[in-house]
Each structure stands twice: as C-alpha cells, then as structure tokens.
Amino acid sequence: MTSAGDICRIRLAGEFDLASLEKLKKLLAPAESADVLVIDLRDVSFLDSTAIACFVHLKKQMMCRGGAGTIRLENPSNRVRRILELCSLQTLFDLSDSS
C-alpha cells in the first residue's frame, strides 16, 4: 500500500472470497480515510460477491468520513472484469486497464 495526499494505492493478489474476507478487510482498512482509492487487481484471479460487498462497504465508509469515495479498480483480468461488469459495478467504481 502506498499513499500520496488523499490518494491511497493498494495492490491485491490471489483469490478473494468468503474464506479470505478478514484478510481483505485488513488490507483495505487503511484506505477508509482516503478521498481516492486505487486498487490494482492485476494479480487477482478471482473475487466473489463477498469481496464486492467489501468494496461497496469501503466506498460508503470513505464517503461517511467526508471523502469523495472514489474507488478505481485497475488492471482487472478478463475474468475479474467480467464479474464486475455482470454486477454492473462499472457504474459504481472506475474500471481501468492502466496504472
């Protein structure tokens, strides 16, 4: 994780599902006070609704703390991008193929 001003960058790796929920929450916790969070998903092979709900909850937490609540999901694999698009999350989060 890196921070620059009100922008926080986190790079995730592996699979994120119910079994790894607590790990994901701990990884994302420092971003709650950021205005903008950039999550690099290039090394994420899978995420399920549990992980997606965690991202949505984090966005709400960021906004409750007075931040913009902007979350950019960068470099998702085709599989992960498909999951995000099936859930229509491209309207809630910025999806990008470049870091």
Q: What is the mean pLDDT of each run of 10 residues along the chain (99 residues)?
A: 71 96 94 90 95 94 85 94 90 83
Q: What is the pTM of this model?
A: 0.87
SS3 labels along the chain: CEEECCEEEEEEEEEECHHHHHHHHHHHHHHHHCCEEEEEEEEEEEECHHHHHHHHHHHHHHHHCCCCCEEEEECCCHHHHHHHHHCCHHHCCEEECCC
Number of domains within the chain: 1
**Domain hosting residue 35, numbered range:** 2-96
Report the pLDDT value the prediction gives residue 30, as an integer from 0 to 100.
87
Here the CATH number for the domain that contains residue 24 is 3.30.750.24
